[in-house]
Structure 1
Amino acid sequence: MIFLIPFSYAQKKEISQAQEFIKSRKSLDKAEESMRKLLKDSVNRSNIKIYLTLAEAVRAQYEQGNEKLYLKEKYDTAALFITAHKMFEAYESLDSVDARPNEKGVVKIKYRKRNAEYLNTCRNNLYNGGMYFALNKKYDTAYRLMDTFIDCVRQPLFSGCGYREDAPLNKAAAYFTLYCGYKMQDPAKALKYETLALQYDKRHEFALRFVAEVYNMKKDTANYVAMLTRGFNEYKDSPYFFTRLMDYYNGVNKLDSAFVTVESALAHNPGNELFLFAKSNVLLNTGDYEGCIAVCDSLIARNDTLADAYYDAGVAYINMAFNLEKTVRASKATRTKLLSYYRKALPYMERYRALAPEQKDKWMAALYNIYLNLNMGAQFEEIDRMIRNS
């Protein structure tokens, strides 16, 4: 008792002083600081007066800042949003203590209704603050505000406000948590509201992209491919989903799946150059060289500067020559046909070299074989020197 009496007196004095600061609207930061200091001691964590005083101190700061902005006085907008976030946290902590059962096991909630009504008028500033910080690339702060905005739905404090998780602004906030989590390279945060974020129609395509990128970041291949597939099915004209899906299928040698995907794309848009080139590439990889050349020729007829179309056609002819060497016994007729493939490959590969001079690793080896087999001495010597010096 001797020790507790002075301690209790000091505690009451601090609360009383803080309340005086709040009434006078002066030294509000000191009032907040003193209450937070008291709450660091576990003995004080059941004292509702401390939580109430803390919440009121932060609320007074918020109202002061709001008033200054309204009157167009000098004030930091970012500070207002940060204070709004602190205010919600303070009132949610107060509510959790207010909702505890008393010594008889009875719950008598005293402050919830009035606090919820007040905070309901301020809640959109959490969203506005999240947008503000996201635009200023303060992704961690933006995430916290948007997270708190959405979390109001499950907070008992707001149980009487009729908040719905699928409300339009919640979907928008969920999208921004996805975006900020992605920017922070934090998959857990990015995917916290994945389902809700994907319901945000205004940024649905981008939401699918970010979710795909996050799964790729996690090395979760199954979900990455599933998200790319969903994105491709919903946005066939988007190069993002198509190219990554094709890269995946080609990379793991799922050429049947790659072919199905490219045919689906071409059924949607038969004249798309990206889709046509992807088809030529799949045909090349599956060994349908004549089909590949036909597609490449159709592409070149549309646009004679498509370097990769020349490359695929040239490689197709070279591969036809290689296959002939492997499967048919040497004869004059065979040799004539073999040389005809190299002659046909020549203009394609030389044109590819002219269009993509930096891609030496691709055209040097191809031209080496062409010049060697066609006995083109000067050209062969040039390529041979290049290879030896590379």
Structure 2
Amino acid sequence: MKRVLFSMILLIIASFAFAQEKNVKEAKKIANEVKPDFSKAEQLINEALTNPETKDNPETWDVAGFIQKRINEKEMENAYLKKPYDTLKVYNSVLNMYNYFLKCDELAQTPNEKGKVKNKYRKANAATMIAERSNLINGGIQYFNLDKNKEALSFFAAYVDASAHPIFEKENFVEKDTVLPQVAYYASLAAAKMENYPAVLKYAPFAKNDKEVGKYALEFMATAYKAQADTAKWVETLKEGIQKYPQHAFFFGHLIDYYSNTNKYGEAMQFADDMLNKDPNNTFYLYVKGYLYHNMKDYDKAIQFYKKTIEIDPKYAEAYSNLGLIYCLQAQDYASKTTADVNDPKYSKEQAKIKKVL
């Protein structure tokens, strides 16, 4: 009796497995039709993707990717024939296809019982993915312009992540793709707008050496570390930014603020001197040195550096403002020590001096 029940259970399991395998084949058949019912094809394949009997079979994921490929082809066919088509559906089908084909590749790389890997899907799928790769960028831009940063990030992230995937090992996109840093920058920008700091720190490093957007990528990284209260990494990133992009004031300004706010004036002054040694006429560095002396209440030296700043750039408003503030403070300090007696012989001279300063 037990043997009969066991046999029946095996038959039931086998029938379920067969049904799911049939779903996979049927889904592919439907997608291949001249007028495919994609809703039906997706319903069948989605069942197979979650069923224990078929979810670990690379064929299941390959067919899932194939269906998305066919959706894309049909939409583009409509576009070619000047019929209505869904642009977002085009882009989303590419993103879905990427996700499915990458999962297929991962499963297909599993060694067989003899310890050998026979991945029959990689070559064809890689070629298809490369052909549609630019649409990951287009999809990201489309959603970014719609201010849908979560969706935009998913596209930009897929582009960057896939670049290092073994399926593209021969292409070596990480080293050869000149567009990759810009896409990574937009991934980090979309993440920054959502305050998704782990994503910022994942993608910004791909862009930090790019001559056009590198300084902003490092700026995002610094902001992310600060938001996560990682002071050591924040300061380290600010210093890296100063070394790589000395003309970008964000890094130097924030580092000096950090030193100033933590009363590390010695370190701040040393850093300011180091930067001035490299660029003696940099008005921002001169202004910062005046600002440091200002905070240290060494007003004479602060005046000296604010004046140097103005000599080089007569339109440097902050230097004028702080210079005026120091003169005002000096006048107030002097006034507090002067006589208030109008009959005192020194009164008129002291008041004249105060008016001259002000």
Per the shorter chain, which TM-score range?
0.7 to 0.9
The Cα of 1:31 is off from its aligned counterpart by 0.6
Equivalent residue, structure 1, for 2:168: 158
Alignment of 1:310 with 2:324, yes or no, is yes
What is the CA–CA distance in structure 2 between the aligned matches of 1:336 and 1:249, rounded to whole Å?
A: 47
Equivalent residue, structure 1, for 2:118: 108
Counterpart among 108, 113, 130 of residue 120 in structure 1: 130
In the TM superposition, 1:341-360 aligns within 5 A as: 344=353
Query: How big is each residue's C-alpha offset from its partner over 1:183-241, in whole Å with a ceiling of 9 and x where there is no partner?
Result: 22122111113432112222122122212211211222222223223333444443323
The structure-2 alpha-carbon separation of the partners of 1:53 and 1:285, relative to structure 1 and needing over 3 Å to count, comes to closer
The structure-2 alpha-carbon separation of the partners of 1:72 and 1:254, relative to structure 1 and needing over 3 Å to count, comes to farther
What is the CA–CA distance in structure 2 between the aligned matches of 1:200 and 1:76, rounded to whole Å?
A: 34
Aligned partner of 1:90: which letter? Answer: Y
Equivalent residue, structure 1, for 2:49: 39
In the TM superposition, 1:226-375 aligns within 5 A as: 226-263=236-273, 268=279, 270=281, 272=283, 274-295=284-305, 302=314, 306-318=320-332, 344=353
Query: How big is each residue's C-alpha offset from its partner over 1:141-184, in whole Å with a ceiling of 9 and x where there is no partner?
Result: 22222222222233233334443445312222222222222222
Query: How big is each residue's C-alpha offset from its partner over 1:101-132, in whole Å with a ceiling of 9 and x where there is no partner?
Result: 33444332222112212222112222232233
Contact 2:222 2:234 (8 Å CA) reproduced: yes
In the TM superposition, 1:5-154 aligns within 5 A as: 6-24=15-33, 25-154=35-164
Contact 1:281 1:312 (8 Å CA) reproduced: no
Aligned partner of 1:139: which letter? Answer: N
The structure-2 alpha-carbon separation of the partners of 1:110 and 1:278, relative to structure 1 and needing over 3 Å to count, comes to closer
The structure-2 alpha-carbon separation of the partners of 1:163 and 1:235, relative to structure 1 and needing over 3 Å to count, comes to closer
Query: How big is each residue's C-alpha offset from its partner over 1:264-320, in whole Å with a ceiling of 9 and x where there is no partner?
Result: 555636373x55443333223334333334455667884697333211222245457
What is the CA–CA distance in structure 2 between the aligned matches of 1:187 and 1:28, rounded to whole Å?
A: 37
Contact 1:168 1:200 (8 Å CA) reproduced: no
Equivalent residue, structure 1, for 2:229: 219
Contact 1:300 1:309 (8 Å CA) reproduced: no
Structure 1 length-normalised TM: 0.74
What is the CA–CA distance in structure 2 between the aligned matches of 1:293 and 1:341, rounded to whole Å?
A: 22
Between stretches 340-349 and 85-94, larger displacement belongs to 340-349
The structure-2 alpha-carbon separation of the partners of 1:140 and 1:102, relative to structure 1 and needing over 3 Å to count, comes to same
The Cα of 1:45 is off from its aligned counterpart by 2.0
Contact 1:296 1:310 (8 Å CA) reproduced: no
Q: What SS does structure 1 have at the residue aligned with 2:36?
A: coil
Contact 1:280 1:295 (8 Å CA) reproduced: yes
Between stretches 176-185 and 131-140, larger displacement belongs to 131-140
The Cα of 1:88 is off from its aligned counterpart by 0.9
What is the CA–CA distance in structure 1 between the aligned matches of 2:286 and 2:350, rounded to whole Å?
A: 23
Structure 2 length-normalised TM: 0.80
What is the CA–CA distance in structure 1 between the aligned matches of 2:126 and 2:98, rounded to whole Å?
A: 10
Equivalent residue, structure 2, for 1:378: none
Q: What SS does structure 1 have at the residue aligned with 2:212?
A: helix
The Cα of 1:338 is off from its aligned counterpart by 11
Q: Which runs of 5+ in 1 are unaligned?
A: 350-390
Calculate the aligned-residue CA RMSD, in Å. 3.5
Contact 1:153 1:163 (8 Å CA) reproduced: yes
The structure-2 alpha-carbon separation of the partners of 1:210 and 1:132, relative to structure 1 and needing over 3 Å to count, comes to same
The Cα of 1:2 is off from its aligned counterpart by 4.2
Equivalent residue, structure 2, for 1:167: 177
Q: How many residues align?
A: 340
Alignment of 1:206 with 2:216, yes or no, is yes
Aligned partner of 2:76: which letter? Answer: N
The structure-2 alpha-carbon separation of the partners of 1:336 and 1:291, relative to structure 1 and needing over 3 Å to count, comes to farther
The Cα of 1:78 is off from its aligned counterpart by 2.2
Q: What SS does structure 2 have at the residue aligned with 1:256?
A: helix
What is the CA–CA distance in structure 1 between the aligned matches of 2:354 and 2:307, rounded to whole Å?
A: 12
The structure-2 alpha-carbon separation of the partners of 1:43 and 1:230, relative to structure 1 and needing over 3 Å to count, comes to same
Contact 1:178 1:207 (8 Å CA) reproduced: yes
What is the CA–CA distance in structure 2 between the aligned matches of 1:123 and 1:151, rounded to whole Å?
A: 12
Q: What SS does structure 1 have at the residue aligned with 2:84?
A: coil
What is the CA–CA distance in structure 1 between the aligned matches of 2:256 and 2:355, rounded to whole Å?
A: 28
Aligned partner of 1:214: which letter? Answer: A
The Cα of 1:85 is off from its aligned counterpart by 0.7
The structure-2 alpha-carbon separation of the partners of 1:275 and 1:107, relative to structure 1 and needing over 3 Å to count, comes to closer
Contact 1:317 1:342 (8 Å CA) reproduced: no
Alignment of 1:3 with 2:3, yes or no, is no
Contact 2:265 2:292 (8 Å CA) reproduced: yes
